[in-house]
Structure 1
């Protein structure tokens, strides 16, 4: 089993396992004794790398950082790279420029491949996001029908959140300027998930319409890593999409604000909002640790039962 897309994992089970690991961390402290998580990062990382590093350590395993982006630069084919790493490690976490690189590694790897962010999806982030929404907006009936507004670029974070929302039955609206929404394949994938769960997924070019009466308001940077050349174009296209106090006032009074970080304060969100009382960005960041534990446990075939020792 690999985790390339959030749809590759049983999301309700992962969230339940993350909640258990969060509530009783010591009960899981030896579940992955002797296991090694290898990591390749072609792009910078703070929360993903650190949360996985701490997660595997707290579960009893080890983190092996294969520093440098040269490993996947073509000097060795994916078959040999994947199988060589498998001689030393039990999982491979990879942050890559192209999702096709992950798919190629997974096609040859005898150990689980974990998507630490690609140009298509960021499933580990979405699991932490859904855990945060579940904790703060969930009821005894779960989070079905929770209204989420994603305002911004139809990027990897947006893609995984849309699919995750579709899997869990959320009511999510994406507001993007024309031409900056998700690609057709992602829209179709999210729609298929929503059809099975009863989720509502809609698209608009109006931030105000998306945010109206929302329980959750989410945004991300407009310019993703590796596309700095598009900064000026996107700044013009996204005018009016910055989350301000005025826009937040359209959401429910007890709405929460979310951002996966890092943020460009004063660009996609005002400093007042992201540092204000409705912001839960650091609760999100904290939940990365528990979501990563759930990912590792599930990929290792653990049931989530606590240690007896």
Structure 2
């Protein structure tokens, strides 16, 4: 590089769903997350994102998404602008495309937590900076990024393993299927009738990466990881009473966990409702890693932000 020549910026890349990255990119991200977490635990200052700004846009409220992104960005030396639809024009008088054009001229990175994936994609299409999906009705890639990282921490590579998904065929289920296809593991999928995964939305081509089970206990048989989510996701509250009845047999309890491998882990993206989608003795039991999983949102997302803004380190 000639003296005085500015370093090349990494090409613009968004993270809108799990399949946006390759298996090789994920291997890199998991390695970086482990390094960044180790530095954090050792109180080693690491601030590669000084003078960089993250805009966080929330149409759906969140505890873990806000704290993990905000704390993570500050720890990396950057700053944060927090926006909601109540204090911005997103989705109101201003078209989302115009909001993207304006906001992306003032910040270096945007995280959006919203309802429709189409709105997120519309924003990204007109953004000059990377856009991250903090959650949509269709996908939750940052959560699965953290979940797979947590599994690797506790049990090693996830390739060739079995993950049992018990519950709603929702954004989490869609994203687990994408992860299975890319990273080479199998999902045992059990949902109540009428709440199945929409294969077109999940957007996977490898039918061999998952198996369907009517009986949730059978889905757990031999699994290395059992995971679930609330029965009524945000935005579906009007269906709560109907879902309570439909999902009654899909509570992950000790009996279901006993069908999994003896060393199987339990995960839940939180918030959890003990006695509904998971029994208290499971989520609070020795196989549960939900608190590591929640913390790892921050470390995995720090690696993600570093990669989107700076490219590969080293």
TM-score for the superposition, normalised by structure 1: 0.91
**Partner of 1:52 in structure 2?**
69
Match of 1:304 among 289, 295, 313: 313
Residue 28 of structure 1 and its aligned partner are, at CA, apart by 7.0
Question: How far is the alpha carbon of 1:147 from its aligned partner?
Answer: 1.3
Distance 2:90 2:124 in 1: 13
**In structure 2, the residue corresponding to 1:264 is in which secondary structure?**
coil
Match of 2:89, SS state, is: helix
Whole-angstrom CA distance in 2 between matches of 1:146 and 1:161: 13
Gaps of 5+ in 2: 1-12
Q: Does 1:173 align with 2:188?
A: yes
Q: Tell me the SS of whatever aligns to 2:294.
A: helix
- Determine the structure 1 residue equivalent to 2:53: 36
Alpha-carbon distance, 1:131 to partner: 0.2
Aligned to 1:184: 199
Change (3 A) 1:277 1:228: same
Q: Which residue of 2 aligns with 1:2?
A: 14
Query: In the TM superposition, what are the counterparts of 1:100-115 in structure 2 within 5 Å?
Result: 100-115=118-133
Moved more, 261-270 or 70-79: 70-79
* Offset at residue 226 of structure 1 (A): 0.8
Q: CA deviation at 1:221?
A: 0.5
Unaligned residue ranges in structure 1 (runs of 5+): none
Contact 2:177 2:209 in 1 (8 A): no
Structure 2: distance between partners of 1:182 and 1:122: 14
Secondary structure of 2:197 counterpart: coil
Q: 1:61 aligns with which of 75, 78, 81?
A: 78
Distance 1:168 1:120 in 2: 20
- Matched residue SS, 2:245: helix
Inter-partner Cα distance in structure 1 for 2:137 and 2:219: 25
Aligned-partner Cα distance in 2 for 1:53–1:186: 30
**Deviation string, structure 1 residues 33-91 (Cα, Å, up to 9, x no partner):** 10000011011101111000011111110011013445322311122211111222101
Which of 118, 122, 127 is the aligned partner of 2:145? 127
- 1:191 and 1:201 in contact (8 A); partners too: no
Partner secondary structure for residue 29 of structure 2:
helix
SS of 1:39's partner is strand
CA contact (8 A) 2:51 2:78 kept: yes
Quick one: distance in 1 between partners of 2:180 and 2:145? 10
What residue in structure 2 maps to residue 13 of structure 1?
Answer: 28
Cα deviation, residue 184, structure 1: 2.1
Indicate if the aligned counterparts of 1:144 and 1:170 stay in contact, CA closer than 8 A.
yes
1:166 shift after superposition: 1.7
Structure 1 residue 205: Cα displacement: 1.7
Conserved? CA contact 1:152–1:222, under 8 Å: yes
Q: Distance in 2 between matches of 1:67 and 1:97?
A: 13
Deviation at 1:27? 6.5
Task: Report the count of equivalent residues.
Answer: 296
Q: Residue 206 of structure 1 aligns with which residue?
A: 215
Greater shift, 11-20 or 152-161, is seen at 11-20
Q: CA RMSD in A?
A: 1.6
3-state SS, counterpart of residue 249 of structure 1 = helix
Question: Runs of 4+ in structure 1 displaced over 6 angstroms?
Answer: none
8 Å Cα contact 2:74/2:80 also seen in 1: yes
TM-score (norm 2): 0.90
C-alpha distance in structure 2 between counterparts of 1:221 and 1:169, whole Å = 26
